[in-house]
Amino acid sequence: MAGDILWESGLSLYIKIDSQDKGATQSNSHPVTLDAETIDTSLRLLKIWDKSFYDEGDVERVFSIDQTRLLGKHFSEGLKKAKPNEDIVFVLVSTKKGTLGAIEPKYMGGRAFYLDNALNIIIGDYDKPRDKGMEAAVGASGITEIKYHIKIGKRNKASKFNKNIIQVDGISHVEVNSKTRKDWFAINLEKTKIVAANQKELKRRGSKEYKQEKLFKDEAAKLAKERREMRLEMARLRKEMERGNNSAQESIEDRLRKLKELMDKELITKEEYNKRRTEILNEI
C-alpha cells in the first residue's frame, strides 16, 4: 500500500500512504475504521493561542476548514487500507497574510497514524512561504510549475512547529524522552467529538435565530401555563358551585323533613304545613 496516492494536486500537494519513518518504535493500530466527519470536526479544534493578540473571533487554526474536510475524508479512507507499518503523509497549502498584509500561499507538511486509541498528527514544515527567487528562475526557463520539497515531520526529531495550542479535552501533546513535543498531537476522537458537539450547541444558542426561537417558545410556554391555571380555576369554581348547590338542596330537604315531623306530631296543622311547604319549595 505504501505509495498509494489518496489525493494529489499539482507537483507539490498530496495525501498518500507511506512507510513509517525510521523513528518508529512500534506498529500502528492499522487498519482502522474512523469516521471522516469526526476527524474533520476534531482537527478544527486545533487552534493556536498567542497571548499578545488572542481573540476568540480571530483565532488561527492549525488547519483551515478546507484542509480539515480534505484530511477528514482521506484519513478515513487511508487508515482503512494502511498496514501497521504505514503512515499517511501529506503536504497542503493555504493562503494567509504575509509581510505587509499581503495574502500569500503557505505550505505545510505532516504525517498521521492511529496508535494507542488516538489519531496522532506530527507537523513538519508549517507556514513555509513560496520561494519567489526559485519561481522566477524556473519561470524564466519556461516551466510553469515547480515542485516544493516540504518536510513532513518525524517521530524521532521535533520540527520547528512551536505554536501554543488552546487546550481542549481529548487533545494532548505527546512526550518523547520526557520532553513535550509541540509538533505532535494525540487526538482522542471520542472526546473531541463531544467537545465539538458542545461548542456547536453553544454557538447555536448564541445565534439570533436561537434567541428568537427561544423567545417564541417562552411566550408559548407562558400562554400554556396561563391556560392551565385558568382551567384549574374554572374547575375549582365549578366544584364550589356544586358544593353550594348540594348544601342548599340538603338544607331544603332538612327543612321539609322537619316540617313534616312537626305536622306528624300535630304541632302544626295540615294547612300550615302545606302553606310553609309551598314557601320552601318556591325558594328552589
Domain boundary among 155, 172, 205: 205
Same domain, 92 and 147: yes
**Which of the 8 DSSP states describes residue 21?**
P
Same-domain check for residues 175 and 253: no
**Residue numbers of the domain that contains 260:** 226-282
- Are 96 and 47 in a shared domain? yes
Q: Which residues contact 266 (CB under 8 A, 6 or more apart)?
A: none
75 shares its domain with 144: yes
Residue 197 shares a structural domain with residue 246: no
Judged by average pLDDT, the poorest of 115-119, 174-178, 202-206, 248-252 is 248-252
Query: Both 75 and 129 in a single domain?
Result: yes
* Together in a domain, 163 and 255: no
Indicate whether 56 belongs to any domain.
Answer: yes
| Position 228 confidence tier, pLDDT thresholds 50, 70, 90 | confident
Q: Are residues 186 and 232 in the same domain?
A: no
Contacts (Cβ under 8 Å, ≥6 apart) of 31: 79, 80, 81, 82, 83
Mean pLDDT is highest, among 99-113, 134-148, 161-175, 216-230, for 161-175
Of 6, 31, 154, residue with least CA distance to 84:
31
**Is the overall model pTM greater than 0.85, yes or no?**
no
Q: How far apart are the first and last CA of the chain?
A: 100
Whether residue 52 lies inside any domain: the answer is yes
Work out how many domains the chain is built from and give that number: 2
240 has pLDDT over 70: no
Half-sphere exposure of 55 (CA within 13 A, CB side): 3
The three grid cell numbers given for residue 104, joined into one nine-digit string:
500569500
- Based on the fold, state whether residues 84 and 178 are members of the same structural domain: yes
Among 158, 176, 205, identify where a domain stops: 205
State which of 157, 176, 205 marks the end of a domain.
Answer: 205
Instruction: Classify residue 212: in a domain, yes or no.
Output: no
In whole angstroms, what is the distance from residue 234 CA to residue 133 CA? 88
**Residue 216 falls within a domain, yes or no?**
no
C-alpha cell read off for 281: 319549595
DSSP state of 195: H
Decide: helix, strand or coil at residue 37: helix
pLDDT at site 141:
65
Looking at residue 253, its pLDDT comes to 81
Query: Which of the pair, 278 or 138, is modelled with greater confidence?
Result: 278
Cα 137 to chain centroid, rounded: 48
Same domain flag for 173 and 48 = yes
List pLDDT tens digits, range 168-201: 999 999 999 999 999 999 999 999 999 999 988 8
**Angstrom distance (rounded) from CA 279 to CA 284:** 10
State which H helix or E strand residue 104 sits in: strand 103-115
* E strand or H helix that includes residue 67: helix 65-81
65 and 17 within one domain: yes
- Please give the residue that has the higher pLDDT: either 221 or 25: 25
In this structure, is residue 218 part of a structural domain?
no
On the 0-12 / 13-18 / 19+ scale of CB atoms within 10 A, 252 is middle
Residue with cell 488516538: 118
Whether 221 maps to a domain, the answer reads no
Which residue's C-alpha cell is 487554526?
A: 61
Peptide bond into 84 cis (omega under 30): no
* 250-279: average pLDDT: 81
Does 22 map to a domain?
Answer: yes
Summarize pLDDT for 25-73 with one digit per residue, the tens.
999 999 999 999 999 999 999 999 876 555 455 678 999 999 999 999 9
Confidence check: pLDDT of 139 > 80: no
Do 65 and 122 belong together in one domain?
yes
